[in-house]
Amino acid sequence: MASVTFKNNPVTLAGSEVKVGDQAPDFTVLANDLSEVKLSDSKGTVRIISVVPSIDTGVCDAQTRRFNEDASKIGNVQVLTISVDLPFAQKRWCAASGLDNVQVLSDHRDLSFGEAYGVIMQDLRLLARSVFVVDSSDKVVYAEYVSEGTSHPNYEAAIEAAKAAK
Percent of the chain with pLDDT over 90: 85
pLDDT tens-place string over residues 142-153? 999 999 999 999
- Contact (Cβ atoms closer than 8 angstroms) between residue 67 and residue 79: yes
pLDDT tens-place string over residues 83-106? 999 999 998 888 888 777 789 999
pLDDT of the residue at 17: 95
Domain extent, residue 26, equals 4-164
pLDDT of the residue at 126: 96
pLDDT of the residue at 162: 96
pLDDT tens-place string over residues 49-61? 999 999 989 999 9
Whether the model clears a pTM of 0.75, i.e. scores above it, the answer is yes
pLDDT of 141 above 80: yes
Band (pLDDT 50/70/90 cuts) for residue 72 is confident
Residue 94: active-site member:
no
Of the residues 11, 30, 60, 120, which is catalytic? 60
- Contact (Cβ atoms closer than 8 angstroms) between residue 52 and residue 64: yes
CA 122 to chain centre: 17
In total, how many domains does the chain have? 1
pLDDT of the residue at 111: 97
**Of the candidates 48, 35, 159, which has an alpha carbon nearest to the alpha carbon of residue 102?**
48
Cα Rg of the chain (Å, integer): 14
**Mind giving me the DSSP string for the chain?**
---EEETTEEE-EES----TTSBPPP-EEE-TTS-EEEGGGGTTSEEEEEE-S-TTSHHHHHHHHHHHHHHTTSTTEEEEEEESS-HHHHHHHHHHH---SEEEEE-TTT-HHHHHHT-EETTTTEEPPEEEEE-TTSBEEEEEE-SBTTS---HHHHHHHHHH--
Integer Cα distance of 154 and 3 in angstroms: 16
* CATH at residue 131: 3.40.30.10
pLDDT of 163 above 90: yes
pLDDT of the residue at 77: 93
Integer Cα distance of 130 and 102 in angstroms: 16
pLDDT of 76 above 90: no
pLDDT of the residue at 62: 94
